[in-house]
Structures are given as structure tokens and as C-alpha cells.
Structure 1
Amino acid sequence: MAQSNIKQKTISGVIWKFLEKFSIQLFTFLQSIVMARLLDPSDYGLIGMVVILNAFCAILVDAGMSNALIRKNDRRKEDYSTVFDYNFVMNIMMAIFMVLIAPLIAIFYHQPILKNIIYLFAAQSASGALLAVQGAKMIIDLQFKAMGIINVVTTVSSGIISIVLALFGFGVYSLVIPNIVAMYIRFGLYYYYQRWFPGFTFSMNSFRALFSYGSKILISNLINCIFDNIYPIVIGKKFSPKELGYYTRGQGYASMPATTVTDVIANVTFPILSKIQDDTEELSRVYRRMVRVSAFLVFPVMVGLFALARPAVLIMISSKWEPCIIYLQIMCFSFMWHPITTLNMNLLQVKGRSDVFLRITVIQKVFLVASLVVTVPLGILWMCVANVVITVLTLFINTYYTSKLLNLSFAKQMMDLCPSLLASIVMGIVVMISIYYITSLGFQLLIGFLAGVATYFVIAKMFRFQELPYVMETAKEVVASKWKK
């Protein structure tokens, strides 16, 4: 594929995904502020106790088949139908499983209300097969604009419904019911844009070919799901729902900026890199550019969020959430590495090394279990600190493997991150100094934000960061193209 074509598709995909994610995250952020003021921290804690069940079942339903379908170059009609049929059967099975296990989970946590929450998750799962293949097909066809519109519409709709339900006193159910409504809205929009209907033709040969690749991704995703949610499980069992609520809110706000970029990378880079998987030189060039741009955008945001966490939380969601501030600050240094890790893991999948993908996942989880054994008796704070250490270690490990695949030195990959990291640290110091003597929370937030933006821009300009003109040029191209239209 020509370099100009790669750039065009990458820019188009990244811009649409970024606009989509920015719109969604902005609305979600504003909605979360309203919901946090309306609901009790324990409501978020209850959801945190059972969210792993919903995620676990969703992974079993997908079984890595979507990724296998996206990666496959010679797709046939029966491939799509086979994946749909598998999803359909598994969704029904998972819904039944949720209904059966709900009473046991309620007993485990000593929270009877969890049974009704899980029943609602089961209703959502039973209809999930309607979405999986359509979503994968839109990624394959690089329909990022349509996907962006769909995601924005469903997010805004569910957000408005959740606020209305919370205002009418539905409590924790206002965090669950809107997801079911959003799923059916998404279903209608998928078929409006896609016009794809399943053929109900199950091919065992197609299933074997897709599952041989997807099975390793399935195992890896299941392991990730369990261990990504192990903190809520442990905190929910050992501490109160309110303490879990503080953790989930702190972790949730820390994840927002990084998740925006991570989701863009996960959805856009996989199909783009898949098209140049056999051209190692071009793959290396595109990969390094993505790493540098990701670091340039994410690092300052996460460091800035760390520096301004206290005034931001107290102003936006009130002092009743003050205990979540320290968790938010610590988790910023965990999530700031997630976009880079996601890009590395995507590269392993693109090169067909799902075995290495699984190996790295297992290593990371061994570290996590060891850290929990040590830190759980010490409290939630030290559990968060250990999470940061594990994230950095995992980054080193997956970067080592990607360096082998691209014939690119480990040191050179790390050096790609250093300029943005150092500039962000300096920016964070300037922000904290600038607000140190200011007593007004509002002025702390305003002055700190302006000082951070100005400092980072000056450093990037002074030291001629390549990413600054690249980002600005890309933005100009997008504005120009939209203006012409």
C-alpha cells in the first residue's frame, strides 16, 4: 500500500475516532458529574462488584472471532455468518448462566440487590449477538465516520436516560437500564448504515480457521478480564461498597483521557497495520509515528490531571467524593502507559503472534497476583501503587517483543517516549508551583490549566518536537477537508 494512502487512511480513521471518542468522553464526563451528585458512592460500588460478570460473558461470546475476522484478508460470506451464528448461541447460553449464578454472587457479597442487577445484565447479554459481526464489518470497511455517529448517538441517549432515572430515584438501576436501551438503539443504527443480514450458514471449516487464531486472543482476554477486575472483586469483598465506589470513581476519571486515545488506537491501528503487516520497514515507520504521537498527546494530559485532581474533584462532584482523589492521582501514572501498551499488543496480533500476546498476558497477571498478596493487607492505596509498577514492567516486556518483530532496538523505542515524558514532568512541576499559594479552587483549576498548556507548548516549540507540527498539520488537513465539503 502506498505511503500516501496509508497516511490518508490513518489520518481519516484517527480523526473520526478521536472526534467520536472526544465527544463521547466529554458527554460521559459531564454526565458522570451529574450522576455522582445524584447517586451515593455505594451505588457505584455495587456495579463494580458485578461488572466483571458482564465483561467475562461478553468475551466468551466474542471468543476473539471479531479480531480473527478483521485480520483475515480473504473473507467470505460464510465467515461472517459463522461468527454470527456462534455469537447468537453463546449469547443465549451466557444469559442463562447469569440468571443461574446471580443468587450465588449476591450471597458472596452479602448484597441481595445484586441479584436483580445481574438479571438486567442477562437481558442485555441475550440480545448481544445482534451487534458483534456488524461492528467488526464496519471496522473492516474502515467506516469510522458511521461508527463515530453510532457511538455518539447511543452514548448521549443512554446518558440522558440514566440522568432521568436517577432524578426519579431509581438509584443503582439508573446505571444499568440505560445500557439495555442503548444496545437496541445501536442495533437499529448498525443496520441503517450497514444493511448486512446474516445468512445463517455455519461453516465448520470457517469456524476452525477463525477460532485457531481467536482462541489465543480469547484466553488472553479472559485472563485480562479477570485480573482487570480483580481490584473491584477484592475491594468489594474486603471493604465496603462505599470504599469500592471511591476507588471506581478515582480509577474511572483517571482512565478517561487514556481510554480515549487507547480506543482510537485499538480500533484504527489494527486494520491499518494489518494491511501493511508484510512490509516490515513501512510497519516500523508507521508504528513509531503512532507511538510518538500517542505519548505526545497522552502524557501531558495525565500529568496535568494528577496535578489538578484535587480542585477538579471538589468543584465538579463535591466534597463527598474527596477520598477518591488520591486513587485518581496514583492511577494517572498507570493509565498514561496504556495507549503505548495497546499499540504494542495490536502489533503482536497484526504479525500473527497471538502466542506472544498470551505469554505477555500471563506474565503480567503473575506479577499482579504477587502484588495483591503483598498489598491487600496494606490497603487500597498500596494496591494502586503496585498497579503502577506492574503497568510499567508490562510496558517494558511488550516493547521488548515488538522490538524483535520490527528489528528495532529496545533503546530506540524507549527514546521515542522520552521527549514527551520529560516535557510533561516539567509541565506538572510548573502547574503545582503555579497553584501552590492560590486558595480558591476555581482559580487553582483555571491558572493550573493555562500554565500547563502554555508550558508544554513552549517546550514542544523550543525543542522542536516533531509531533507538534505533525498534529497541527493533521488538524489543518481535517479542517480544510471539512471546509471544502
Structure 2
Amino acid sequence: MSELGRGIVRGTAWAAVDRVGTMALNFVVNLVLARLLMPEDFGYIGLLAIFIYVSQTLVDGGFGAALIQKKEPTQTDYSTIFYWNLTFSVFLYVFLYAVAPYIAFFFKLPLLCKILRVQGLILIVNALIIVQNNRLRKQLAFRTIALINISSLLTASVIAIGAAYKGFGVWSLVIMQLMYGVLQNCLLWSIVRWFPDRIFSFESLKRLFGFGSYLLAANMLQVICQNMQGIIIGRKFSAAQMGFYSQANKLNDVCSYALPNVIVQVIFPVYSQFQNDKQKLQEMLSISVRVISYFIFPLMLSLILVAEQLIVFLYGERWLSSVPFFQVLCVGGIFVCLQNINYYAVAAIGKSKALFGWSFYKWGVLLTLLLVGAHWGMYGMLWGMVISSINIFLVNAALACKYIGYTISRQVRDFMPVLIIGLLIFISIYLLKIYIPYMHFIVAALLFGTLYIVLTWMFQLQVIKDITHIKTSLIK
């Protein structure tokens, strides 16, 4: 195996450790905090999410992706982006500090003003390590990233749980975010040992912005529209409803977004290495789609089946209102898991302008569906999000077809076998649960998994060969 091949395999393994480790920690900590805090506490953070995420996206400015996409960025490039990120993050924090009272007035929740003014400090904290993180990603140094992220999150989580136990309420969630960022800073600055030079190049900024600007605009539209439901729920419904939605969405994101993102984290810089070899990119995309759908599709379907018992077991009966929200989100999750594979493949070959142009359509449709669906309450919004997920998948797949040659029909052929098998098992167990209504959710999940593995091996799907090949490569 070539050095690049070994780097990819090592990167994939450590990216998996990072993503699965942080995801598992977040999951466990969320379970503990859900029993110590009220739904309203999570609702407050959810209502402010759009302001933090949009600001964070602006701070990054697409420059992180631009530095990875550029084959050999210079010290001048890194220094320029560092100073830009830091300056802009301070500007945005001052802006959020000033508008915080008006945001609290809009939602009719005075406490939001104080929360946003403290939580907003995370923008400056995160801006200090954007370059360090991207330098490590560029080098496929996912082992270092994993160790830093997991150790920082573990320490921050212990502090947050202690604060929640002492009665800090929503502030324990804010403390967790800030401490996580501060600890990452301490470790990255001491380990990476990269420091900016006293230089700022407008030429470098302009050159990187040529790629990053379109990706920034596309990401901005995505972040705004994906978090718009927080504004709608907070204004039209309540902080408690936002809390129920937030927990359902977190659990869904772990399965439909975080797990597939393990692969996406690694393949974006790898795609950049093959940006001139369309045939190789097609093969990598095809394998990625088959492997992701093999694991995620049955997971989402089985979660729909056992949702009520699972949420009561994990969070307690006070969170029962999250169950129907979670089930609807899982339907959309089937399509969410494949969105970024196509998106980042197109970005890696430098087609950020096309991604930007189509973002107006993708996120415009989502925003329209959210506003229209809100007239039918929470469920109308959620089903609008499902339709939007299907639409976004189709658009990203069409772009991959146009610029890489990975056709939509081939993509459907790659994931359809596991989807059909999963649906057949879903229907069978659903009917069985009608006759055995008190079947334990663990039994139902194990039955689903066993039947799925048996049938996919029985039919010897191509994805089984892909997984065998990957396993052999990892062993080597």
C-alpha cells in the first residue's frame, strides 16, 4: 500500500475514533444533563443556536475549506487567515452583545440576553484555533485531532455535569461549550506549535476568498435555513417545545449526520488529491454511498420502530413528547446521511461556485417548507424538513453527476438494495409488534439487525465485498 493509502487508512481510523468518541461522550453527557435539567433549559440554547452558528460560519468564512483545497498553502496564507478570523470574531461578538436585548425581546424571554452575551464568547475562542485544526486536517493528522477533542470534551463534560448538579440550570450548558473551546485552545497551541508571522496579505486573502466565498455563502444559507426552525418554534410555540425538538434532533443527528461525517472528514482532503482523476472519484463516491447506506439505513428504520421505549429508557418519561418528533426526523435522516458525500466531492474539485448557486434553491425550498408547514403545527414543520432532505439529496447528487460523472441512477442502484431489504424487515417487525405489543425494544432492535445481516449476506451485495476489502486494508 502506498504512503498516501496508509495515511488514508490511518486517517479514517482516527477520524472514526474522534467522531465516535466525541459522539459517545456527548450522548452520555446529554443523557445525564437531560435528567438534571428541564426541557426549557435545552430550549434556550436551541433558540440561540442560529445566531451562534451563523456567526461561527462567518468567522470561518470558507477559508478553512479553502486552505485544505489549496495544495500548498504558505505561511503567509495561514497568518493572514488567522488574523482575519480573530478580528472578525471580535467584531461579531460585539455585534451580538449589542443586539442581545432585542433578541430576548423578540422571543419574550429576558434570560436570553444574558445567555447570548456569555455564550457568544465562544466565537473568539474558536477563532484562535481554526488554522491549527485545518493544518492538522491537511496533514491527515486525525490522531492528534482525536486525542485533543476527546480529552477536551471529557474535561468540559465533567465540569458541566457538576454545574448542573449544583443547580446552575441552563448555564451548565453554556459552561460546557466555553470550557470545551478553551481546553482545545490550550492543547492545540501547545501541541501544534504553529504561530502566525507578523504579516497580513490582502492578495492572499483575496485569492483564498475566491474559493472560500462561494463555499461561505453556500454554508451560510445552509446554516440559516437549517436553524430557522428554532426561530419559528420559539416565536410560534414555546421554549419547552424547542427543548423537545432539540433532544429529538440531537439523537437523530448522531445517527444520520455524525456517523456518516466520520467518512466525510477524511475524504474531503483525500478527494482534493484526486481532483483531476474523475474515474477515481466516481469509484470512491460509489463505495462511500454503499457503505454509509448499509449501516445508516437499517439504523434509522429500527429507531423508528423502538422510538418510544428508547427515549423513555434514555431520557425519562418527561421527554415523551420528543418521540413523534424523533420518528419523523428519522425518516428524513435516511436521505440526510448521503447529502455531504456528494457535496464535499464537488467542493473538492473546486466547484464551490456551483454549490453556492444551487444553495439558493435548496435552502429556499427548505425555508418555504418550514414557513408553510408551521401553519399545521410542529408536525407540519417536521414533514417539511423531510421533504427538504430529499430535495437536497437530489440536488447534491445531480451536481456530482454533472461535475464528476457519478450519475443519479448509479447512486440509486448503489443504495437501493439495502433500502429494500431494510423496508421489508421494518414492515415485518412492525406487524409482529401489533401481535406482541410489549416486545422489548432491545429484542426488536436485535431481531432487526440479525435479519438484516443474514439477508444482506445471503444475497451477497456488493457492499459486503466493499466492507471486506476495507477490513482487509485496515488489518494490513
**What residue is the counterpart of 1:208 in the other structure?**
206
Matched residue type, 1:269: I
Q: How does 1:204-353 map to 2 (within 5 A)?
A: 204-353=202-351
**What residue is the counterpart of 1:459 in the other structure?**
455
Contact kept, 8 Å, 1:120 with 1:177, in 2: the verdict is no
Residues 221 and 287 of structure 1: is their aligned pair in 2 closer, same or farther, counting only changes over 3 Å?
Answer: same
**What residue is the counterpart of 1:100 in the other structure?**
98
Deviation at 1:263, TM superposition (A): 2.4
Q: Kindly report the root-mean-square deviation, in angstroms, between the aligned alpha carbons of the 2 structures.
A: 1.7
Distance 1:193 1:423 in 2: 47
Deviation at 1:284, TM superposition (A): 1.1
Residues 78 and 327 of structure 1: is their aligned pair in 2 closer, same or farther, counting only changes over 3 Å?
Answer: same
Distance 1:434 1:360 in 2: 44
Distance 1:278 1:225 in 2: 30
For residues 161-210 of structure 1, the C-alpha deviation after alignment (integer angstroms, 9 at most, x for no partner) is: 22111110000111111111111110122123311111131111111100
**What residue is the counterpart of 2:167 in the other structure?**
169
* Match among 28, 51, 61 for residue 59 of structure 2: 61
> Aligned to 1:229, what secondary structure does the other structure show?
helix
Distance 1:260 1:395 in 2: 17
**What residue is the counterpart of 1:27 in the other structure?**
25
Contact kept, 8 Å, 2:371 with 2:381, in 1: the verdict is no
Distance 1:297 1:12 in 2: 21
**Structure 2: gaps spanning 5 or more residues:** none
Residues 19 and 126 of structure 1: is their aligned pair in 2 closer, same or farther, counting only changes over 3 Å?
Answer: closer
Matched residue type, 2:190: Y
**What residue is the counterpart of 1:361 in the other structure?**
359
Matched residue type, 2:108: H
Q: How does 1:116-127 map to 2 (within 5 A)?
A: 116-127=114-125
Instruction: Say which is worse superposed, 174-183 or 10-19, in terms of deviation.
Output: 10-19
For residues 149-172 of structure 1, the C-alpha deviation after alignment (integer angstroms, 9 at most, x for no partner) is: 111112222222221111100001
**What residue is the counterpart of 2:381 in the other structure?**
383
> Aligned to 1:22, what secondary structure does the other structure show?
helix
Q: Percent identity?
A: 26
Contact kept, 8 Å, 1:18 with 1:260, in 2: the verdict is no
Distance 2:155 2:472 in 1: 31
> Aligned to 1:379, what secondary structure does the other structure show?
helix
Distance 1:260 1:471 in 2: 20
* Match among 420, 432, 444 for residue 448 of structure 1: 444
Instruction: Say which is worse superposed, 268-277 or 189-198, in terms of deviation.
Output: 189-198
Deviation at 1:4, TM superposition (A): 5.2
Distance 2:60 2:239 in 1: 30
Residues 373 and 128 of structure 1: is their aligned pair in 2 closer, same or farther, counting only changes over 3 Å?
Answer: closer
Distance 1:82 1:111 in 2: 40
**Structure 1: gaps spanning 5 or more residues:** none
**What residue is the counterpart of 2:405 in the other structure?**
407
Distance 1:475 1:154 in 2: 30
- TM-score under structure 1 length normalisation: 0.94
> Aligned to 1:127, what secondary structure does the other structure show?
helix
Deviation at 1:214, TM superposition (A): 0.7
- TM-score under structure 2 length normalisation: 0.96
Deviation at 1:352, TM superposition (A): 1.0
> Aligned to 2:98, what secondary structure does the other structure show?
helix
**What residue is the counterpart of 1:112 in the other structure?**
110
For residues 372-415 of structure 1, the C-alpha deviation after alignment (integer angstroms, 9 at most, x for no partner) is: 33211110011111111111122112211211222233211211
> Aligned to 2:197, what secondary structure does the other structure show?
coil
Distance 1:40 1:48 in 2: 13
Residues 417 and 4 of structure 1: is their aligned pair in 2 closer, same or farther, counting only changes over 3 Å?
Answer: farther
Distance 1:291 1:156 in 2: 32
Deviation at 1:12, TM superposition (A): 2.2
Contact kept, 8 Å, 1:81 with 1:198, in 2: the verdict is yes
Contact kept, 8 Å, 1:21 with 1:260, in 2: the verdict is yes
Contact kept, 8 Å, 2:22 with 2:149, in 1: the verdict is yes
Distance 2:367 2:81 in 1: 34
* Match among 134, 142, 148 for residue 146 of structure 2: 148
For residues 47-83 of structure 1, the C-alpha deviation after alignment (integer angstroms, 9 at most, x for no partner) is: 1111111111111111000100100013111010011
Kindly tell me the number of residue pairs found equivalent between the two proteins: 476
Distance 2:436 2:5 in 1: 45
Distance 2:6 2:437 in 1: 48
**What residue is the counterpart of 2:393 in the other structure?**
395
Matched residue type, 1:461: W
For residues 276-325 of structure 1, the C-alpha deviation after alignment (integer angstroms, 9 at most, x for no partner) is: 10011111111211111111121111111111111101111111111110
Contact kept, 8 Å, 2:346 with 2:404, in 1: the verdict is no
Distance 1:158 1:476 in 2: 37
* Match among 191, 194, 200 for residue 193 of structure 1: 191
Deviation at 1:436, TM superposition (A): 3.9
